[in-house]
C-alpha cells in the first residue's frame, strides 16, 4: 500500500503535522512513514561528532514514531532517517506516497530568504499531493468544522478529486467562490464560500504555475497542493 509520509523534525510545528497525517492514515486505512533528515552543517568534522548528531536525530525520529504509534488507532508506523536536506528526501519519498504532510513555521520574510522553505519546496516539487499544516501544538478539534475550500477559479480534475475525497472522508461540504462552475459529486454538497468562515482545508492546484509560498506560509488553515 502507498503510505502517508510525514516530515517530522521534533518541533511543536511538526506535532500538528503528525496529528493531520495520522488522521489521513486512519481515514484512508494506509500506513504512515515518519521521516526525519539530519546533516552536519559545519563542513568537515570528526566521525565522533557526526555520530553524536546522528544519535540525536535517531532520538527525534524515535519520539515522533512513538507519538504516532501511541495516538494512531491501528495505523502501521515505520520510520525513515536520512542524512541530507529534508526537502530533497521528502520529494524522493513522495514518488511512492499517497500524500506528504509537513508542518510550516510561517517564517517571516528575512528568515525565509536565508533558510528557504522546506514546506514550500516540497509542495512545489512533490510527486503526490502535499498538505502543509501551519502553527505549533496539537490541532484543535472544532465543534463545527468548516468546509474544504477549492481556491482555484478553474480547478482541474486533480484538485476536484482531492477536494471531494477529503470532504467525503471528513463528512464536510465543498466550498468555492463560484460553485456553479463545479460539478457536484455524489454525497458531497457544493456551496459558495462565505466571507470570514474558517476552512478545514484549502485545496490549490500545482499544475501550470508556481506554488504561492505566501499561501503555503500564511494561510489560516492547512493547505493541500495537488496536481502535476
Q: Hey, is 191 helix, strand or coil?
A: strand
| Residues in the chain where the model's pLDDT stays below 70 | 43, 45, 105-116, 135-142, 208-218
Nearest one of 168, 106, 101 to 134, comparing CA atoms = 106
Based on the domain organization, do 53 and 128 belong to the same domain?
yes
Give, rounded to a whole angstrom, the gap between the first and last alpha carbons of the chain.
21
Which residue among 74, 109, 134 closes a domain? 134
Based on the domain organization, do 97 and 187 belong to the same domain?
no
Q: Which residues contact 115 (CB under 8 A, 6 or more apart)?
A: 107
Q: What angle do CA 178, 184, 190 make, to 5 degrees?
A: 50
* Spatial separation of the C-alpha atoms in residues 196 and 65, rounded to whole Å: 37
Domain that holds residue 182: 148-204+218-226
Based on the domain organization, do 58 and 119 belong to the same domain?
yes
In a domain, 211, yes or no: no
Please write down the HEC assignment for all residues of 10-47: CCHHHHHHHHHHHHHHHHHCCCEEEEEEECCCCCCCCH
Based on the domain organization, do 121 and 196 belong to the same domain?
no
User: For the packed helices 12-28 and 157-170, what is the interaxial angle rounded to 10 degrees?
Assistant: 90
In a domain, 209, yes or no: no
pTM, full prediction: 0.90
In a domain, 139, yes or no: no
In a domain, 15, yes or no: yes
Query: How many domains does the chain divide into?
Result: 2
Q: Hey, is 39 helix, strand or coil?
A: coil
* Spatial separation of the C-alpha atoms in residues 102 and 94, rounded to whole Å: 12
Based on the domain organization, do 28 and 115 belong to the same domain?
yes
**Could you tell me the CA-to-CA distances from 12 to 8, 43, 73, 87, 119 in Å, in that order?**
10, 28, 22, 18, 15
Based on the domain organization, do 68 and 162 belong to the same domain?
no
Cα dihedral: 144, 151, 22, 28 (round 10): 100
Which residue among 134, 161, 184 closes a domain? 134
The pLDDT assigned to 221 comes to 87
Q: What cell does 183 get?
A: 460539478
**Could you tell me the CA-to-CA distances from 76 to 28, 29, 195 in Å, in that order?**
12, 9, 40
Based on the domain organization, do 123 and 167 belong to the same domain?
no
**Could you tell me the CA-to-CA distances from 133 to 40, 59, 174 in Å, in that order?**
27, 23, 19
* Spatial separation of the C-alpha atoms in residues 69 and 75, rounded to whole Å: 7
Based on the domain organization, do 157 and 46 belong to the same domain?
no
Q: What cell does 7 get?
A: 516530515
The pLDDT assigned to 122 comes to 92
The pLDDT assigned to 167 comes to 97
For residue 87, the cross-strand partners are: none
The pLDDT assigned to 11 comes to 87
In a domain, 143, yes or no: no
Which residue among 80, 101, 134 closes a domain? 134
Amino acid at each position: 500500500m502507498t503510505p502517508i509520509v510525514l516530515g517530522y523534525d521534533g518541533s511543536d510545528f511538526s506535532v500538528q503535522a503528525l496529528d493531520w497525517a495520522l488522521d489521513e492514515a486512519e481515514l484512508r486505512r494506509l500506513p504512515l512513514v515518519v521521516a526525519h533528515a539530519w546533516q552536519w552543517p559545519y563542513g568537515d568534522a570528526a566521525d565522533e561528532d557526526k555520530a553524536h548528531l546522528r544519535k540525536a536525530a535517531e532520538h527525534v525520529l524515535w519520539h515522533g514514531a512513538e507519538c504516532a504509534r501511541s495516538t494512531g488507532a491501528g495505523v502501521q508506523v515505520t520510520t525513515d532517517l536520512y542524512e541530507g536536506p529534508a526537502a530533497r528526501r521528502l520529494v524522493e519519498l513522495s514518488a511512492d506516497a499517497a500524500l506528504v504532510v509537513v508542518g510550516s513555521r510561517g517564517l517571516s520574510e528575512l528568515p525565509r530568504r536565508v533558510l528557504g522553505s522546506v514546506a514550500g519546496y516540497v509542495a512545489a516539487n512533490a510527486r503526490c499531493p502535499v498538505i502543509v499544516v501551519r502553527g505549533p501544538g496539537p490541532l484543535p478539534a472544532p465543534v463545527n468544522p468548516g468546509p474544504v475550500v477549492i481556491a482555484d477559479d478553474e480547478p482541474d480534475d486533480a484538485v476536484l478529486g482531492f477536494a471531494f475525497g477529503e470532504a467525503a472522508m471528513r463528512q464536510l461540504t465543498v466550498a468555492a467562490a463560484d460553485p456553479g462552475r463545479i460539478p457536484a459529486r455524489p454525497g458531497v454538497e457544493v456551496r459558495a464560500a462565505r466571507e470570514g468562515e474558517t476552512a478545514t482545508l484549502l485545496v490549490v492546484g500545482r499544475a501550470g504555475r508556481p506554488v504561492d509560498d505566501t499561501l503555503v506560509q500564511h494561510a489560516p488553515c492547512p493547505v493541500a497542493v495537488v496536481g502535476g
